[in-house]
Structure 1
Amino acid sequence: MHPTRPRPRSTGAPAPSRRHLLGAGLVAAGVPLLGGCFGLGDTTGLVLEQPGGDVPEQFKDRQRVVIWSSYTEHNAEVIQANLDAFHEEQDDIFCEVQIFDSYEGVESKLAASLQARQVPDIAVLSDVIWNRFYLAETLEPLTGYFDDSFGTDSFHDRFLAEGTVKDDIWWIPFGRSTPLFYYNREVFAAAGLPDRAPETYTEYAEWGRELAGFTFEGNEVAMRGYIGGDDWYFQGSIWAFGGAYSDGLTMTLTTDESIAALEYDRAFIHDDNSGYLAADAKGDFVSGACASVLESTGSLSGIKEAATFDFGCGFLPREEGAGVPTGGGGLSIMKYASEQRKQAAWEVIKYLSSGEASVNWTLGSGYVPTTKAAMESPEIAARAAGDPNYQVAIDQLEIAQGPDVARRYVPETLVEAKDAIQSVYSAGENAEDVLIRMEKELEPAIDRVREKYEQRVGE
């Protein structure tokens, strides 16, 4: 088995100056309890205070909007540039971005701030976090804010549907992605492998066995560096094998199909010596330590900048069927902001999701287009024409889907899933035993959210 590989080099952009960095060192001390109302008591007509911050003198007379964002470094600069343009184009609203270090950083601070009776106006929430605040009844329904100038048809239908529950929209798509199959064309060519992504996981395993022990430019190259800190990729492969985390809130981890997906990974790593649990899979790929990696579409720009070799992208492998999970973040308005703040927050969302701002965000961030204006823009068409890998990311959206219910509404699922895949990837534990244990560990968590889920979502 290949050992866990050290990081060969950093692939991140230099850290820019930031307006606020509130999330440094912020670590969630366990999973927030989102089943209640955060000790708010009677919430009828409740309005919570806005977080403090800095308002430049020239904007003192405007309605202030606060966004809590997980976008850092370059992506923070792209958002700020769009907001600077927004501030120039109108004179009623000032929007301040307060930055945290991750989606989990926003989640933890938001849970704490609700208990402290304080709330931002807009929160950037991930695809597996916003649902929990929806269950806790802390998000504003957004359907009624749309009008003829900015309708629901502004967005990619698949993404908008993910933020819709019981015919109301609660989460607006913004920085969305899917995983892609990245491969080193030079290694594949030297090993005699086809210049494409494998069509199936079975074919991927066959190629991995062909590559086992292969050296390129004096270094041994593994087929795949596995990511153990994020179960997003396993969500996709479990679908590809015909399994799922859950059917509604009924867990389905111990079906033959679900077990087969994790057993495949165990055999790929421990029997075939084709893969390994990487400390930094993306870094290993750009350094040439592994010949392929499953990584986000949002990583495409960074990999392109860092890699010194020719690489290609393809759809994720199939097996019994397709298995492509959507991921990334979106924008929600908080229920307990004042009506003036909520209306101003909507104007900010409308601006960021329209016209040039939407195109600038898509091109600058590397995320896939979420609005039809961006999708159909000449700038995006030119990017796709100039980089076939980017077109792959757009095309794969047609077979992508949102996360299983257990991942969306039961916070402990992600914690248990990461433990499960790491046990198999690192220690080679039996896949069936691990998934039986995971399902059993999740029973109390599922029971805790079941009543609220049935009330707010239903089957």
Structure 2
Amino acid sequence: MFASLTTSSLSRRSLLGAAGIGLGAAVLAGCGGPSVAGPAASGSPSTNPAGPDFTGVTPAKSITFWSNHPGSSEAVTQEIIAAFTAKEGIEVKLVTAGSNYEEVATKFQAAQAGGQLPDIVVFSDVWWFRYFLADSIIPLGNALKAAEVDTADYRPGLFSDYQYAGAQWAVPWARSTPLFYYNKDHWKAAGLEDRAPKTWAEFNDWAPKIKQANPSIAHVYEHPALADYAGWTLQNILWGYGSGWSKQNSFDITCDDEKAVAALTYVKDSVYANGWAGVASKSGTDDLAAGAISATLGSTGSLVGMQKATAGKFSLGVGFLPGGPVSTSPVCPTGGAGVGIPKNISKENQLAAAKFIGFLTNPANTVKFAGATGYMPVRTSADTSSLLAANPLAGEAIKQLDVTRPQDYARAFLPGADQEMAKSIASILTQDADVKATMTTLRGVLEKIYTSQVKGKI
């Protein structure tokens, strides 16, 4: 094992900071991209953990919100904005800052060097830590207090995802887990129970039956598009085999240990030796909706869109992620996005942004947003009865939230690691590369990222 990683590994409690910060489901889905390099990247920012003082500050009357509209959420977000403006008299301009989290992050980083900053920015949970290191966002404690936001009502496991050094750096918004999506009609034709497989070994047994009963499909299962999902969803299989990209709650890289190699050999065999799986070029859920495959993994944020796309074609099923030979639970990571506030804008704009964040994620609006997208309600007091009555499948995502596990540090906190994981898995699944050799190379890359960009800054 890489010695400096072993000796300097941090516990999750020490990484999340001072006493009083909860330990919930951790850092999530997003892309690689710009590094943390920047004016403040030579060390952790020195700041008041509660953030700026808003005594005597009057909120601005107009603010800007940068988003990539996760889960096709632009329309519902505009509805929430209109209601906020009617209530508070504060206008919010919703700007499409990119088509995904990486593009938003790139635009936000570029704006630090010159240009117009947003007042609220969306970022996946693999991005907030980089923004903290770059000293480009504010701690939200005082801002949320001044905006009279009830922070105790957020789901603890989601709210604590954004805590470090005794401070709160973002608020959960479009939060998700991966789900197992499947074609119930294909299952029925194969004589299978109407449920997701409990383990990947069970699915390996089911796959030939599904293929035989549905000969027109291209594949029984499709691994999600690697560039977007490899680092995220494959944690499920790695955890099920008793390993991970890194040791739990540690920067010790384990992607090439015996159990990880066994897990990824199973994945490779699903494509080559056993031949029941393929790899999505763009979207596994789109291919499932088109009837080309029988199952895939996808974000809960895709749920409503999938239901619309499959209506009248086939009956859609969803379930928990399958377990492995070592662990059957918890083997599911959470994912999605939060919202935060830039540092280098006026206090008036920061306060207005905090007021909007509180409104955007209040109990009623988090249910409204969940109903329109498939993302999970982020408030404990949210009344989900109407949501579940209208869409019972949404209940699977909410129930799975109780059996999630913090993401691996290697994916969550190492800048660009997600892209490196995707490239490595692509070579295994599309070029038949050797699993052990590829993962050993990846381990070296991840260790180098840690020592050059993270170690000494936390």
TM-score scaled to structure 2, two decimals? 0.82
Q: Deviations over 1:161-187 (max 9, x none)?
A: 111113311111000000111111111
Q: For residues 357 and 386 of structure 1, what CA distance do their matches in structure 2 show?
A: 16
- Contact 1:35-1:452 within 8 A present in 2 as well: no
1:121 to 93, 115, 119: 119
The alignment-based identity, stated in percent, is: 28
Runs (4+) off by over 6 Å: none
- Contact 2:185-2:315 within 8 A present in 1 as well: yes
1:35 to 8, 33, 37: 37
Structure 1 window deviating more from structure 2 (307-316 vs 364-373): it is 364-373
Q: Deviations over 1:8-60 (max 9, x none)?
A: xxxxxxxxxxxxxxxxxxxxxx94231332799xx999xxxxxxxxxxxxxxx
**Alignment map for 1:189-268 (pairs within 5 Å):** 189-212=188-211, 214-216=212-214, 219-220=216-217, 222-227=219-224, 228-229=226-227, 230-231=229-230, 232-247=232-247, 248-268=250-270
**Alignment map for 1:339-378 (pairs within 5 Å):** 339-374=347-382, 377=383
**Alignment map for 1:95-134 (pairs within 5 Å):** 95-100=92-97, 101-116=99-114, 118-134=116-132
Q: Deviations over 1:58-95 (max 9, x none)?
A: xxx9532121111168411111111111111122x222
Deviation of the 1:335 alpha carbon? 1.6
- The residue matched to 1:207 in structure 2 has which SS? helix
Q: For residues 39 and 300 of structure 2, what CA distance do their matches in structure 1 show?
A: 36
CA, structure 1 residues 98+35, in 2 after alignment: closer, same or farther (shift >3 Å)?
Answer: same
CA, structure 1 residues 161+445, in 2 after alignment: closer, same or farther (shift >3 Å)?
Answer: same
Deviation of the 1:146 alpha carbon? 3.8
CA, structure 1 residues 442+175, in 2 after alignment: closer, same or farther (shift >3 Å)?
Answer: same
- Contact 2:237-2:263 within 8 A present in 1 as well: yes
CA, structure 1 residues 179+73, in 2 after alignment: closer, same or farther (shift >3 Å)?
Answer: closer
CA, structure 1 residues 312+161, in 2 after alignment: closer, same or farther (shift >3 Å)?
Answer: same
Q: Name the structure, 1 or 2, with higher relative contact order (CA <8 Å, separation 6+).
A: 2
- The residue matched to 1:316 in structure 2 has which SS? coil
- The residue matched to 2:174 in structure 1 has which SS? strand
- The residue matched to 1:225 in structure 2 has which SS? strand
Q: Which amino acid aligns with 2:309?
A: A
Is 1:326 aligned to 2:334, yes or no? Answer: yes
- Contact 1:135-1:452 within 8 A present in 2 as well: no
**Alignment map for 1:151-170 (pairs within 5 Å):** 151-170=150-169
Deviation of the 1:370 alpha carbon? 0.8
Aligned length: 401
- Contact 2:41-2:134 within 8 A present in 1 as well: no
Is 1:79 aligned to 2:77, yes or no? Answer: yes
- Contact 2:33-2:102 within 8 A present in 1 as well: no
Q: Deviations over 1:289-338 (max 9, x none)?
A: 21111111111111111111112111100112231011111001112222
> Which stretches in structure 1 are left out of the alignment for 5+ residues?
1-29, 46-60, 455-459
Q: Which amino acid aligns with 2:295?
A: S
Q: Which amino acid aligns with 2:272?
A: H
1:433 to 434, 437, 450: 437
Q: For residues 41 and 242 of structure 2, what CA distance do their matches in structure 1 show?
A: 42
- The residue matched to 2:433 in structure 1 has which SS? coil
**Alignment map for 1:380-459 (pairs within 5 Å):** 380-454=384-458
Q: Deviations over 1:214-272 (max 9, x none)?
A: 253x6145220112222211122212221111232221111212222211100111111
Is 1:300 aligned to 2:303, yes or no? Answer: yes
Deviation of the 1:452 alpha carbon? 4.3
1:140 to 108, 131, 138: 138
> Which stretches in structure 2 are left out of the alignment for 5+ residues?
1-31, 48-58
Structure 1 window deviating more from structure 2 (99-108 vs 423-432): it is 423-432
- Contact 1:174-1:330 within 8 A present in 2 as well: yes
Q: Which amino acid aligns with 2:238?
A: I
Equivalent in the alignment of 1:53: none
- The residue matched to 1:396 in structure 2 has which SS? helix
CA RMSD of aligned residues (A): 2.4
- Contact 2:410-2:446 within 8 A present in 1 as well: no
TM-score scaled to structure 1, two decimals? 0.82
Deviation of the 1:342 alpha carbon? 1.0
- Contact 2:71-2:373 within 8 A present in 1 as well: no
Q: For residues 210 and 435 of structure 2, what CA distance do their matches in structure 1 show?
A: 24
- The residue matched to 2:381 in structure 1 has which SS? helix
Deviation of the 1:118 alpha carbon? 4.3
Equivalent in the alignment of 2:27: none
Structure 1 window deviating more from structure 2 (253-262 vs 352-361): it is 352-361
Equivalent in the alignment of 2:318: 313
- Contact 1:240-1:318 within 8 A present in 2 as well: yes
Is 1:269 aligned to 2:271, yes or no? Answer: yes
